[in-house]
Each structure stands twice: as C-alpha cells, then as structure tokens.
Structure 1
Amino acid sequence: MKPTRTAIVTGGERGIGRAIVQTLLGEGYNVSVLGQDTSAGAGLPEQVRFYDCDMANYPAISRAIDSICASTCPLHALVCNAGIANPGRLPIEELEVDDWQRVLDVNLSGPFYCAKAATPYLRKAGGAIVNIASTRALQSEANTFAYSASKGGLVSLTHSLAVSLGPEIRVNAVSPGWIQTDPLEETSEADELQHPAGRIGAPNDIAEMVAYLLSQKSGFVTGQNFVVDGGMTKKMIYAE
C-alpha cells in the first residue's frame, strides 16, 4: 500500500531525528528529511528523500518544502528537530556574538521558517507540527545562554503558532531530557538511577511521543510542551 500521508523531519539524519523518521515510516508516512549531514543522509532508508538544507536559510527551506509537496501526497506532518545541540558553555565574556546568533538562527528561526513555508500545505491537509525543544527551556546549566534561550523561544513559538494556526493546524513541542543518542556513550549505574524513571532516555522515547502528537489520537491537544525526561525536572536536588 502506498503512503497517503507525507511528513517532513528536519535533522532526521541521526540521533533523535533518525528515530523519528523510522517511527513515522512504520506509521505509514512518506518521509522527507531536511538537513546538512549529507553522509548520514545518504545512509537513510532508500524510500526517504534527503534535501541538503541550511536551517538558517529561508529561501532554501521554502524551495525544499515546495519541491516535496509538489511531488508527494498531502503534507500532514512537520517535525522541527534540527538544531545546534552543543550548548557551548563559554562564559559570557568569551561567547562570540556570531556564535550566539548562529544558534538562534538555526534553533529558533529555523523552525519558524519551516512553519512559514509549510503552513499553506498543512492547512489543506489539516496537519500538525511538532517542535523538538529541550528541558533547557525550563532550567539551565551555567553558561548555556544561546542554547537555553533558543529552546525557551521555541516553546513560546510553539504556543504562538498553535493559537495562530488553529484549528486547521495543531502545534506542540517535545522537550527531551538526557537522551542517549550515541550507543558508545559511557554511562554509569548512578547516571541511570538518578532518574526517577530509573534509566536514561532513548531516541525512541521521543519518537513515540512525536508520533502520538502527529496522530488524530491527540486531536484535542495543541499549544503544549511535553517534557520527556524520566522525571528529572521534577526532582529536587540539594548539594550534600
């Protein structure tokens, strides 16, 4: 059976984004990926179309989305996952203004650009948008200015889009906590057990939430930010 729904996933080449792509393929979507890691993009399943696209470049994003929607079935889903994931951790005196701006351009302006370009197509299909934010939208480590600000802005952009684009388009966000995207990452039992859920998160934990928010099972859910972090943001921690 041919797919009857199309999804666009930004940053779908690896990590959480790749898990989202695999999950949506399993749900019967025709999936296209916008990203810049061309070597990882070449390793995506053969039925996935990959577009080399800078998330800070609106004309490039618009052209890619127009191309996807001109040649596939109606656009039902946009997942804005691409972002500069390294929070940096430089003191404010050492943080270059250009580096600050680049993070905001990719992590915050990028999802806005994608939503702007995709909205006419999503309206026709009654589609949904999911933005991948972060628990850093709610709490910070020291010296993570640009990353925290971009993700906090993305949560606010999410509810602004939901109010502005509804009822035709639903918009939600998912804020992951510690997700082990590298299977070779060294972790300890203490790392696992500090989570109230008893373990570190896996990319599929986020992918399953995204699939739910894109489906009609969540038809009464919009404008929300879903924290998927094993309970860590609800845990009070004191220095001993």
Structure 2
Amino acid sequence: IKTDVKQEKDIQRLMSFAVEHCKTIDILINNAGVMCTASPYELTVDEWDHVLHTNVRGTFLCAREAARYIKENPNGGSIVNISSTRATMSEPHTEAYAASKGGISALTHALAVSFSQDHITVNSISPGWIETKDEKSLREIDHQQHPSNRVGTPKDIVKACFYLTDEDNQFVNGTDLVIDGGMTRKMIYAD
C-alpha cells in the first residue's frame, strides 16, 4: 500500500490495512530511508528536513503505530529499525543522512525502554557496505577492505532480522547490531 512515511495519516492507514488483512502485527522492520549528498554549505533546509523527516520521523511514526497493535499480542513482538554505520562514521557531504541514522540508533534504545512493559523488543541494525544492485561490478579491492573478505549482501541483513525478531530471542533488546564485515573495526593507515 503506497505510504509516505513522513505522513502520520498514511502510516495509520497502512497499519490498519495490515491488521485488516493479516489479523495482527507481530513484527515491524523499519527500512524506509533516503539520502541526500550535498556540501553542508549548500544543503538546503528542505533537503535536510526531507531526509530527517523520512528517516527519523518515519521510523518513529511507524514504530508507534505498529506498537499499538503489537502490544495486543499475548507474546508481544519485535521492531527492527534499519540504521547505518554512517551513524558513527562518515564520508564528506552526508550530514543529513548521518544525523538521521544517529537519530534512529538513539530512538531505538529509547523505544526499547518505553515499549518494554508491552513485551515489544526494539533493536536496530547498522549495515555497512551492502551491495544491492550489481555484485558482479565489485572489484577484488572492494572485498579486501573487509576483514570478512567480501562486501555484504541483502541476505546478511535479512538473517539479522530473523535473529532479532525470533520470539525466543527476547533478551536482545535496545541494541544496535553492526553488520559490516568488520569494516568499522579495521584500522587503516596511509603510506
């Protein structure tokens, strides 16, 4: 169902539609997001607001509206927010995106505490380099940058979502799971 995650009414309609057709909501994966690459000297307020409203506001609104239904389940449920390693490291001209992903990471632990009495776990995943288009276009050096010796794939994130939403796994709560092939742990020195 077409939804603008910046719009509260759209999200409410989406959640209502999901419950109407599926009877319940047990799991929410918050994965809607946009990026804007612009020099901070040239980044407009509208561009900034678009990224923050889509990424952070959308994540909050979806979590809030889904939780209204999830809390009705006897065993609760799970919310997984997709953040990014960009919350803790950056490339030039990604200020809005980095700020939004930092916001998602902070929002995750706050929601985990707030929703805990309703048996709803809230965690986030911070992917690193995940190739979503053409894996064959990657070079050997792209893979070698990672201690895992490969660039990530969407399947790596899907497996983490299964882990974080498993109903036997409710002790993991309020955490950010970094899935980046070890790239953020690798020190790099220029010669």
* TM-score, structure 1 normalization: 0.76
Aligned partner of 1:92 in structure 2 is 40
Higher strand proportion: 1
Separation (CA, whole Å) in 2 of partners of 1:87 and 1:142: 11
* 2:170 alignment partner, one of 182, 202, 219: 219
* 2:26 alignment partner, one of 57, 72, 76: 76
1:173 equivalent in alignment to 2:124: yes
Q: Which SS does the other structure have where 2:80 is aligned?
A: strand
Q: CA deviation at 1:93?
A: 1.3
Aligned partner of 1:10 in structure 2 is none
Separation (CA, whole Å) in 1 of partners of 2:61 and 2:136: 33
The sequence identity of aligned pairs, in percent, is 44
Aligned partner of 1:21 in structure 2 is none
Q: Which SS does the other structure have where 2:72 is aligned?
A: helix
Aligned partner of 1:59 in structure 2 is 9
Q: Which SS does the other structure have where 1:158 is aligned?
A: helix
C-alpha RMSD of matched pairs (Å)? 1.2
Separation (CA, whole Å) in 2 of partners of 1:188 and 1:144: 24
AA aligned to 1:57 is: Q
5+ long unaligned stretches in structure 2:
none
Map 1:60-209; keep pairs closer than 5 Å: 60-84=10-34, 86-88=35-37, 90-125=38-73, 126-167=76-117, 168-183=119-134, 186-209=137-160
5+ long unaligned stretches in structure 1:
1-50
Separation (CA, whole Å) in 1 of partners of 2:149 and 2:17: 44
* Residue-pair matches, total: 188
- Kindly report structure 1 stretches of 4+ aligned residues shifted beyond 6 Å: none
CA contact (8 A) 2:3 2:11 kept: yes
Aligned partner of 1:231 in structure 2 is 182
Q: Which SS does the other structure have where 1:108 is aligned?
A: helix
Separation (CA, whole Å) in 2 of partners of 1:122 and 1:169: 7
Aligned partner of 1:6 in structure 2 is none
Deviations 1:60-91 (A, max 9, x none): 1111111211232321100000100x341x21
